[in-house]
Amino acid sequence: MINSLLTVGLAHFLVLSLILFLTGLFGVLISRNMLRTVMSLFIMSVSAVINFTAFGYYCDNSMENANMIGVFILILSVIQTIIALVILYKIYQANEYLDTEKIKDKEN
Amino acid sequence: MVTSLIYFYFLFFASITSALGVIFAPKMYLSALALFLFVCFSALIYLYLNSTYLSVFQFILCSMFLSLYIFLLLKKIGRLNLELRLAPVSKIVVSGVFVLLFGMLFILYFMQEFDSSLYSFFNVAVEKSFNSVNFKHYLYPLSLVGIFILVTTAVLRVFLDNSLAVEQQKENEESKS
């Protein structure tokens, strides 16, 4: 048990990325502020990229595949974050707040 | 060896703490700052895994561009000092249980995958593939990306529904006046 903790391997990075992924998911579920939801989504995407990089480093001889997929996911996640932020800005201009509960109440 | 181990565990706990900081920060600017730190720490993790290109790419794209964009947006709408609140306790508990179950499911999936039992299911498709050995190592992370895309789609749909409802409300008010 202690030996496995002292030797950094693939499992360590998978555990790290799993914890980050679950943290991001938890953030999406519990946050009331829309901006924080977007940030949590970004954490989820970064955890996926860490996973790819770890697999590339430990299982694949070259890092080319992992780098390529990682860059692709990063670009996609940044684009989706920016699109979400633009939508949020529009919502804010109309409502003056980004609280999901308040917006729901207003709709009702 | 020891330095590398300490460095890894430092990055491990720093990235998890900053991710938790994004979610539980009491003020908006602290949350944005935690995101910036998270991006920096994750870029260092890529560097630890010898992926310099990805590390530099993330540092430039996310910490220089995205975090700055978020800060500027917050400044523009004057919400840097906004107090953040979480969902009701009942929702937090239910979400916690759901996330725990989800984590256990993933650990089971992960362990099964390392026993190679799940690969037999994909073998039909993978064996004929030219790049089969490389591809099958990425099946597990690909499943994470799949879930990420599903969650993103759900969230963006909620956002769009909200913005459409707001626009409709505006149109109704204009037509009334």
ipTM: 0.88
Query: What is the distance in angstroms between the Cα of B27 and the nearest Cα belonging to chain A?
Result: 11
A4 touches chain B (CB under 8 A): no
Chain A residue numbers with beta carbons less than 8 Å from the beta carbon of B151 are 25, 28, 41, 44
Rg of the Cα atoms in chain A: 18
Using CB atoms, which residue from B16, B73, B95 is nearest to A29? B95
Chain A residue numbers with beta carbons less than 8 Å from the beta carbon of B144 are 17, 21, 47-48, 51
Could you report the per-residue pLDDT of A32-50, keeping only the tens digit for each? 888 888 889 999 999 989 9
In this complex, do B138 and A69 lie within 8 Å of one another by their Cβ atoms? yes
List Cα–Cα distances, B15 to A15, A16, A20, B34, B41, in angstroms: 12, 9, 8, 9, 6
| Contact indicator for A23, B19 with CB cutoff of 8 Å | yes
In this complex, do B156 and A80 lie within 8 Å of one another by their Cβ atoms? yes
Written as one letter, the residue type at B30 is L
Domains contained in chain A, CATH given: 2-107 (1.10.287.3510)
Chain A residue numbers with beta carbons less than 8 Å from the beta carbon of B62 are 42, 74, 78
Q: What is the mean pLDDT of each run of 10 residues along chain B (177 residues)?
A: 86 93 89 91 91 86 81 81 79 85 77 54 44 58 75 75 71 73
Could you report the per-residue pLDDT of B123-148, keeping only the tens digit for each? 444 444 444 445 556 667 677 777 77
CA distance B41 to B53: 15
Using CB atoms, which residue from A22, A39, A49 is nearest to B103? A22
